[in-house]
Structure 1
Amino acid sequence: MKKIVPILFFWYFSSMAVFGQATFHPNGVADQRSEYILIKNATLHVDATTIITNGWMLLKNDKIEKVGKDFSYPKSAFVVDLSGKHVFPSFVDAYSDYGMPEIKRAGRRSYYDMVFESEKKGAYAWNQALKPEVKAAEIFVGDAKKAGELRKLGFGAVVSHAQDGIVRGTSALLSLQDTQDQLSLLKSDVSSHYSFSKGSSAQSYPVSLMGSVALLRQTYYDADWYTKGGSSKERNLSLESFAKNLAFPSIFDGNSFADLLRADKIGSEFNTKYILKTGGDEYQRISEVKALGAHLIVPVNFPKTPDLDDPMDAEEVTLETLKHWEMAPTNLGALASNGVSFSITTADLVDKTTFLTNIKKAIKLGLTKEAALAALTSNPAKALKIDNQVGSLKTGLYANFLVTSDDVFAEKSKILENWVQGQKYVITDESLSEINGTYSLALGTESLKMEITGENDKPNIEIIESDSVKIKVTTKRDRDFLNLTFKRNPKDEGIFRLTGYSTDGKVSGEGKTDKGADLVWTAVKTIGADAAKADSAKTEKPEKIGNVIYPFVAFGNESLPKSKDMLIKNATIWTNDKDGRIVGDVLIKNGKIDAVGKNLSAAAGVEVIDGTNKHLTNGIIDEHSHIALFSINEVESVSSEVRQEDVIDSEDTDIYRQLAGGVTTSQLLHGSADCIGGQSAIIKLKWGENANKLIIPNSPKFIKFALGENVKRGNSPQAPNRYPSTRMGVEQVIQDAFVRAINYKKTWADYNSKKIKTGLEVPRKDLELETLVEILDGNRNITCHSYVQSEINMLLKLADSLGFKVNTLTHILEGYKVADKMKERGVNASTFSDWWAYKMEVKEAIPYNAAIMSKVGVNVAINSDDAEMARRLNQEAAKTILYGGLSEEEAWKTVTLNPAKMLHLDDRLGTIKKGMDADLVLWTDNPLSIYAKPEKTIIDGAVYFDMAKEDKKMEELNAEKNRLTQKALASKTSGAPTAKPNTRKKPAHVHCDSMLEFGGMSVELYELMDFSNYNTEGK
């Protein structure tokens, strides 16, 4: 009879979730009665803050009927006594792809084989990366194997969606029971989903991160237009779905803290507060992340220990990689201690079996158990408005709960059962005796030691002959029977084979030696697993964790530089003003230049810097730069909708390197792949600040245009399929764009003058044309990549005819031929000092170009267009003295005041006088000398580079890297899983005319490269 009860018990719990479902047609007789189960005498964790000791919970079919203790219940209820056990709500994963079809990513296409049209048939969005019409509820197919794997981790329900595209449609709440899919689908349209990844789309646009941002922004505007009357123009099922999906909680997939800031900026524009799925590096910018006020969905994909046995790997691995390995497990604790609301997800975990282990590690490093439980249960349920179905143990919710041997986060606790919709799933078989521990092994006449670790049903066994000799045993366990096979010596061909039975701390049996002789063996437990763990816990020291640095790369600082008042005395001051060069003092107050003169005094406490025999100048301004950007080019011939400010990489070490060269301000330009490129960003090189704080507030607006070989693919090894492919075509593209912009402007003007009339149709807001209208209105300035005289003349004439102005011609190596025309129109020139012969367009370049244009009366700047050259722009400026005979002061202005004028920032930058920004460089020598070095680089009164501190900074950097390297080596020795570190470096520095080789194909300036998830130090 005892053998029959478990069978009946199993039948009872496995059948009850199916019976009582009206739409299922049974084959035979079906029992439609309500079924009750009473769980009693457990430590009942109702939620993260409510615990009932000796608690009771009554289940009716798949729901919780009542929670409490000692209450009345139906006599027909099946009673389950869980004395000594804990019951928790089953976990909820808010970011899953369970049950979704496999996503096949599209391969990269070259710029010479581009796809412009969507390959998706039907009345859907023009771009395949937009898929708001996809509903997880309609494509979900249950997977018993994957459901079982998730149940073992403690999950009872997931919110799943198809993780494909920039707009991904809606998710569904799915139960992890493995009978009918109709029972698993608990709720459709739980949340809408967005990302920066185009996924499986084979369409060329967008190829960049900034293109993804622009496409998403445009889709928001299109959906608004569609609902306000655009549907009368076209029927678009994607826009209909997008508009409807705005009613649901919106989840944005981010891979880094930078993505979170970027996504929040989009959300603010459209009055949407995103739930942000993160990359697990929020601790690096915790104050900025906290300020978002968003709910986060956080992965626990902690890096494996870097394998640094090879000294070359140890040399090449970045400080960032090592610090993130150490600090990633502190992320959850940092979020909790800073009051950030978050959920925990299995997303991004390659080996999901490490999920609970990683959470327990996070608990050791600062995460409380209460915060962990809330993040796995009630937090995701509340954030997604499904807390009336899952997430706690309350009346009316689904009967999804865990039965555990101890607190679920206790080191030795086990999940025994996971009940999903009232259906019991056994996770750990309690009937198996606990065998882990240390044993005294009698192997025939020999006395050895044996250690058993690992999972109880899948034990790991080692036989220890001595401290240095350990024998790995292949083990199979069947109930309490063990089969062991091993070699005493790896060189031996023979294998020992043992069979034994485990009972009461003893394993005994018989076997065969490697020679075939009979063998009797016995293993007696001397130290239990619990005692061994207790002993190790007593001696375990708190793990030492390093500090966060800003930015989180080499040369970062533990605190951000702060503006302070200071007085620089007795320096040779290059005022760039009517006073020219003077020897005197400069007083800085509140980030501004307060006074310039001689014998200035400062209040007590103001730092005084001796500038004797040193030179003080404005910070260098680089009018044409591509540093600190995740992406450079888009692929369309007109890409005016994209913005460099959306893709600033605040962690780029080039920022610091250029501070060491005296650069304080850079204009970050779009590349030269498109006739009309993207909008630029003007930043100050405030090393350590986040991307938004690098941008100069209220700075003038600029955009990049391009002419010539780069646009028409003149260096292409094959004929490009993108228009234009000739210089004539370039002119037509620009003309067509502005004609469309003029008509667009008129359409909006007509609408705004007549909109008082009811029923007037709202025009569609077009981000591409909006930008061109800004140019027409004089609110955005053009910087145009240009070389050849004929094309420069073409653009100037085209601008005259269409009513727009060219602000700056950059590169402009044939500028000496058209300087008179540029002066006549007030066009600036941003050029190189002596570049030539790197392509056909520059065969007539001359090093006297800058000086000739200057003498004609054109405002001329020397730019870098190259991260390495930017560190030596002072020397590039000096070349204009050699080639053309400019004075020292005129030469110096080409990298300070002149670019400030080009950028319309000369009211605050470029001269040293009262009221100007305190962006200054103190040089060891004349700044035009090859011997000059910046001693201090100051921005807004804060010192961002200090040569006197560099030796100490390098010592600290090397010491920290060595500490982490030693820690990684010790971690590997202790048995931690390892992985070879990624020592891949960021591609070589590039400029507008670079020719790089990727996979045997020449491309210009990052043409196919999208570094949206690329970290500066090669993460």
Structure 2
Amino acid sequence: MGPINDGAYNANDAIKAYFNAHEAFENSSSDADKMRKAGFGVVLTHSQDGLVRGTGTVIALHDGQNETMLKETASQHFSFDKGTSTQDNPSSLMGAIALIKQTYLDAEWYTKQDEMVDISLSAFNINKSYPQFFEAGGDKLYVLRADKLGDEFGVQYIIKGNGDEYQRLDEIKATNAQLILPVNYPEAYDVDDPLDALNVSLEDMKHWEMAPYNLKMLADNGISYSITSDGLKDASKLPAMISQSIEKGLSEEQALKALTYNPAQFIKMGDKLGSLSKGKYANFIITDGSPVKKDTKIFENWVQGNPYKYEDYTLPDLAGDYTLTIGNDDYQMEVSGDPGKEKFKIVVNDSTSYDVKSEISKQLISLSFKDESKEEAGKIRLSGWLKANEISGNAKLPDGSWAKWNATMNDEQDTSESEEEKEDEDKEEDEDQVGSLVYPFVAHGNTEKPKAETILIKNATVWTNEADGVLENTDVLLEDGKIAKIGKDLSANGAREIDGTGKHLTSGIIDEHSHIAISRGVNEGSEAVTAEVNIEDVVNSEDINIYRQLSGGVVASQLLHGSANPIGGRSAIIKLKWGYSPEEMKIDWADKFIKFALGENVKQSNWGERNTVRFPQTRMGVEQVFEDAFTRAREYEAEWNAYNNLSKRDKANATAPRKDLELETLVEILNSERFISCHSYVQSEINMLMKVAERYGFRINTFTHILEGYKLADKMKEHGVGGSTFSDWWAYKFEVNDAIPYNAALMHGEGVVTAINSDDAEMGRRLNQEAGKTMKYGGVPVEEALKMVTLNPAKLLHLDDRMGSIKEGKDADVVLWSDEPLSIYAKAEKTIIEGAIFFDREEQGDKLDAIQAERARLVAKMQGEKSNGKSTQKAKPKSQIIYHCETEIQNYSSLK
């Protein structure tokens, strides 16, 4: 489906850089009044539609006409949500990221050409001069994704987060981004019913408890942020939410700064907004207490000198005796008279006192007097605010210096002190009950990320996957993340010794084909070729399947795009470093791969009746997609080569070709700089793609699934392609009818590098058993069967120089098993990645007990909230989409 906008606009309707908020803005007295009642005087407003949303405008919240718009164009806005666009592309998060990247490249190219007009790109370039805001949405990982996208193009976004940034604090701080933070803290769950309690994840329980700490933790780490009311049903609830953070240790000054000074700086209007200074707009509020505490009344909200009254003033009765503290000096002060007619005096003793000049205007108070007890008596001037039983503010001393002052009513002092002490005790008690921060922030997370150790595994049966074969009663030393030594009677000072007697040590399992740990869509199925999208952009480090697969001995996985199109997206190769960030999990030294696909999925056989438009619709069409794509890639490469070969003088007078992320990726394939893992089933199509590749001068790296590989294993061997297959899947769709469980053995016997993969989060936990099935079906020797989930996938992924076998110098990615590794009785006791233990079955019992205890503590705490009359929300389970190759291809519009 094409764009709905007529005219010279971008080809994708989600790119709305041309939209200007100031042109669409309409004054709404009722909306403005709601915000004023909450204490706001100015807002930055923009359209919340599209990936590139156009500009924002700064509006003063008063009822004037010409004066309301303070800054016509103040910002440019982005998001990961394509909004109202009815076009299929993008249909996934990785697609959205790729489209934004391509827009940056197109905008740069647009400035150097004069052959076409694109209103969207023209506006995009103009808007680059304004502060760039990115509404990340999602969770804390989306903040990291937005920042990474900006870094690629030299842009530092101001990022609107989700309120859970504390869960990845180090990574968030490293972005150096200024943040906009919501304070829509969740209510406690109603967990009186034990079944309801089971429906609430530990992650949601812990976030309920820790969300109010977010602001303090970020402030303590020097992260600059502003606070938004966005996400609250009623903006007037903002002070109550912020009060929760103040109770957790956020200072009132920090909270107020995040509502005033910081946002003014973000929109580059600090010279006019954000503080009470001469020459700035007369924007201020008058309250009966701290503006960032609940139950504070707003008497007046002045916007550009226009007063809006919301509460009548009630003059407090100040009569009484006070202790007046100015800096380090204490005075006794007496106040008499009715409200509005007070008289103040300093009492020295029963016979000596002197008057204090006073002026009270609503909640503001000014006092002045001379301290006659001092040799050079000068006037002390006090200004401040009235609060219940206390007056405080700033004092100017006779020598011109400043000091803080407060006056506390004497007959209330002891009581207030005891109340403060009680509040401190309650606060300390509450803090003592707060659970630990864990990485990742889900069940089975660790309070500290696993670190590499020096580990000596003694007396194990070592399956080397090398010429040495299986070594009995052998020691292996892991040091500095590497396999340092293999032998007998080894020793190492300070090493952690693990008794391997009766146990088996293998290299870690590597899953060549996985779809775990991916956020918001495994398929960008909107077009036949989507080589521009990248799984690396959407790695989800919080997926519990990472931990589950560690429990099955998996140390690394290739995260593949699905099979919705002939040429899908680029893959991510990760180590399963549970608790680490997405960037830390990626194997940065690995070669680059991409997913291709053949068969029913790509020609949309099972997508439903409406999907009969997108090319291809037949297997012949699939071949033509490859031909067209690589022909375009060759032409693209030739165009760039011609430009790059121009002389410096000629190049100055020429326009560089448009950089195309899709074609850049295809050129990498042509030049063997990126390698293909191809979803495949039927012999004829497998043969076809090998011939296509040969015509264009490259080779297919891996056929995955490859359930008819046994029919043409000789041709696969000749082509140089590997096979990554299932052990015994068949008959789950028509094109699998000829699958047999002997497939892996037959390909292996023909000399094809053969691996067993999962394609499934559950199967990924037992790949050792899947490899063992090749011994039953085809008589594959046990060591060769083990290689099908260790060394062979390492070879297919070009990781075998550092992974896949136990050899001195290779990465310390090993698994200690309770039994022979391919046995159905074998359990992974320890899964070690680069010398750090990421799964330890010995500790699993304690971990489960800790999870149970933490849940019980949080349930009790939530029940206490309900019994104290606080509102609760209904308990609800959190579901997870388990991705497979074909996930969402029948309804990929579900992610729009």
TM-score category of the 2 structures, normalised to the smaller one? 0.7 to 0.9
Structure 1 residue 360: Cα displacement: 1.2
CA RMSD of aligned residues (A): 1.9
Instruction: Report whether the alignment pairs 1:608 with 2:493.
Output: no
Q: Is the 8 A contact 2:599 2:685 kept in 1?
A: yes
Amino acid at match of 2:551: A
Task: Map Cα deviations across residues 200-248 of structure 1 (whole Å, 9 max, x no partner).
Answer: 111111010000000000000000000011xx22100000000111111
Contact 1:992 1:1005 in 2 (8 A): no
Q: What's the secondary structure of 2:67's corresponding residue?
A: helix
2:846 aligns with one of 948, 952, 968: 952
Residues 530-569 of structure 1: matches in 2 within 5 Å? 539-540=422-423, 541-542=426-427, 543=430, 544-569=433-458
Question: CA separation of 1:325/1:529 partners in 2, compared to 1, >3 Å: closer, same or farther?
Answer: farther
Following superposition of structure 1 onto structure 2, how do residues 499-538 of structure 1 map, counting pairs within 5 Å? none
Counterparts of 2:246 and 2:827, CA distance in 1: 48
**Residue number in structure 2 paired with 1:599:** 489
After superposing the two structures, state which structure 1 stretch, 213-222 or 731-740, moved more: 731-740
Query: Within 2, Cα distance between the matches of 1:850 and 1:530?
Result: 83
1:667 corresponds to 2:558: yes
Report the 3-state secondary structure (helix = DSSP H, G, I; strand = E; otherwise coil) of the residue aligned with 1:601: coil
For the residue of structure 2 that corresponds to 1:183, the secondary structure is: coil
1:75-128 Cα deviation digits (max 9, x unpaired): xxxxxxxxxxxxxxxxxxxxxxxxxxxxxxxxxxxxxxxxx2111122111111
2:239 touches 2:293 (CA, 8 Å); kept in 1?
no
- Residue aligning to 1:192: 76
- Counterpart in the other structure of 2:583: 692
Residue identity in the other structure for 2:173: K
SS in 2 for 1:579: coil
Looking at structure 2, the residues matched to 531 and 284 of structure 1 have their Cα atoms a distance apart, in angstroms, of 41
Contact 2:54–2:77 (8 Å) recurs in 1 = yes
1:576 and 2:458 equivalent?
Answer: no
Cα distance, 1:347 vs structure 2: 1.3
Q: Once the 2 structures are TM-superposed, how far is the Cα of residue 844 of structure 1 from its aligned partner?
A: 0.4
Alignment partners' CA distance in 2, 1:160 and 1:306: 33
Provide the secondary structure at the position in 2 that maps to 1:773.
Answer: helix
CA contact (8 A) 1:550 1:560 kept: yes
**Deviation sequence 1:515-557 (CA, Å, 0-9, x none):** xxxxxxxxxxxxx999999987654411232121100001001
TM-score by length of 2: 0.86
Q: Among 698, 709, 720, which residue is 2:612 paired with? A: 720
* Matching residue of 2:357: none
Tell me the residue number matched to 1:298: 181
1:350 Cα offset (Å): 2.4
Which of 97, 105, 108 lines up with 1:213 in the alignment? 97
| Aligned mates of 1:529, 1:1009 — CA distance in 2 | 62
Q: Is the 8 A contact 1:334 1:366 kept in 2?
A: no
Q: What percentage of residue pairs aligned between the two structures are identical? A: 53
Aligned residue number for residue 846 of structure 1: 740
In structure 2, the residue matched to 1:941 is: 835
Equivalent position SS for 1:754? coil
2:122 corresponds to which letter in structure 1? E
**Aligned twin of 1:419:** 302
- Are 1:730 and 2:622 an aligned pair? yes
Report how far residue 803 of structure 1 moved.
1.9
What amino acid is the match of 2:129? A
Q: 2:240 touches 2:295 (CA, 8 Å); kept in 1? A: no
What is the SS of the residue equivalent to 1:216? helix
Shift of 1:720: 2.2
Partner Cα separation in structure 1 for residue 129 and residue 708 of structure 2: 56
Is residue 2:868 matched to residue 1:974? Answer: yes
Aligned 1:270-309 pairs, distance under 5 A? 270-309=153-192
What is the CA deviation profile of residues 587-617 of structure 1, one whole-angstrom value per residue up to 9, with x for unaligned ones?
11100000111111111x1111110110000
Equivalent position SS for 2:762: helix
Aligned residue runs from structure 1 range 463-474, under 5 A: none
Q: 1:379-431: per-residue Cα shift (whole Å, max 9, x none)? A: 11112211122111122211101112233235554221110010101122225
Matched, 1:923 2:817: yes
Does the CA-based 8 Å contact 1:633-1:1005 persist in structure 2?
A: no
Query: 1:415 & 1:187 partners in 2: Cα distance?
Result: 27
Matching residue of 1:878: 772
1:139 paired residue among 18, 24, 30:
24
SS in 2 for 1:921: strand
Separation in 1 of the partners of 2:800 and 2:176?
A: 37
Q: Secondary structure at the match of 1:409?
A: coil
Query: CA–CA distance in 2 between the matches of 1:304 and 1:947?
Result: 36
- 1:175 counterpart = 2:60: yes
Map residues 637-716 of structure 1 onto 2, 5 A cutoff.
637-716=528-607
Contiguous gaps of at least 5 residues in structure 2: 318-410
Are the aligned partners of 1:990 and 1:1005 in contact in 2 as well (CA < 8 Å)? no
Q: Who is 1:509 aligned against?
A: none
For 1:407 and 1:325, locate their aligned partners in 2 and report how far apart those are by CA, in whole Å.
Answer: 25
Give the aligned partner of residue 640 of structure 2.
748
Instruction: From 214, 225, 234, give the equivalent of 1:351.
Output: 234
What SS is found at the alignment partner of 1:154? coil
Distance, in Å, in 2 between the alignment partners of 1:221 and 1:428 is 54
TM (norm. structure 1) is 0.76
Specify the alignment match of 1:236 in structure 2. Answer: 118
Q: Structure 1 residues 1009 and 548, CA, compared in 2 at 3 Å: closer, same or farther?
A: farther
Which position in structure 1 is the counterpart of 2:725? 831
Question: Which of 508, 511, 517 does residue 619 from structure 1 map onto?
Answer: 508
Cα distance in 1 between the residues matched to 2:658 and 2:604:
33
Residue of structure 1 equivalent to 2:877: 983
For 2:800, the equivalent position in structure 1 comes to 906
- Counterpart CA distance in 1 for 2:607 and 2:101 is 32
| Alpha-carbon contact 2:703-2:723 (below 8 Å) kept | yes
CA spacing shift, 1:836–1:1004, aligned 2, 3 Å: farther
Report deviation, 1:663. Answer: 0.3
Which whole-Å CA distance do the structure 2 matches of 1:711 and 1:592 have between them? 42
User: What amino acid does structure 2 have at the position aligned with 1:611?
Assistant: G
> Which residue in 2 is equivalent to 1:250?
132
Q: How far apart, in 1, do the equivalents of 2:299 and 2:47 lie? A: 31
Separation (CA, whole Å) in 1 of partners of 2:890 and 2:739: 21
Provide the C-alpha distance between the structure 2 equivalents of 1:786 and 1:920, rounded to a whole number of angstroms: 31
Instruction: Return the alpha-carbon distance in structure 2 between the equivalents of residues 534 and 406 of structure 1.
Output: 19
For residues 325 and 697 of structure 1, the distance between their equivalents in structure 2, rounded to whole angstroms, comes to 36
> Contact 2:483–2:807 at 8 Å: present in 1 too?
yes
Alignment-mate amino acid for residue 790 of structure 2? T
Does structure 2 conserve the Cα–Cα contact (< 8 Å) formed by 1:596 and 1:914? yes
Residue 697 of structure 1: SS of its match in structure 2?
A: coil
Given that 2:516 and 2:883 are in contact with CA atoms closer than 8 Å, whether structure 1 keeps it comes out as no
Question: CA shift at 1:586, angstroms?
Answer: 0.5
Matched letter for residue 602 of structure 1: A
The equivalent of 2:787 in structure 1 is 893
Alignment CA distance shift 1:253-1:930 (3 Å): same
**Does the CA-based 8 Å contact 2:240-2:293 persist in structure 1?**
no
Structure 1 gaps of 5+ residues are: 1-115, 435-527, 995-1002, 1013-1019
The answer for the alignment partner of 1:40 in structure 2 is: none
Distance 1:1005 1:686 in 2: 33
The aligned residue for residue 708 of structure 2 is 814
Equivalent residues, number: 790
Structure 1 counterpart SS, 2:106: helix
The residue matched to 1:806 in structure 2 has which SS? coil
Q: Secondary structure at the match of 2:614?
A: coil
Alignment check: 8 A CA contact 2:75 2:130 kept: yes
Q: Is residue 2:266 matched to residue 1:383?
A: yes
Q: Contact between 1:632 and 1:1006, CA under 8 Å: does it hold in 2?
A: no
After superposition, the C-alpha distances for 1:845-891 in whole angstroms (9 at most, x for unaligned) are 11100000001000000000000001000000000000011100000
- Of the candidates 862, 868, 878, which is equivalent to residue 756 of structure 2? 862
2:46 to 144, 161, 169: 161
**How many Å separate the matches in 2 of 1:413 and 1:887?**
77
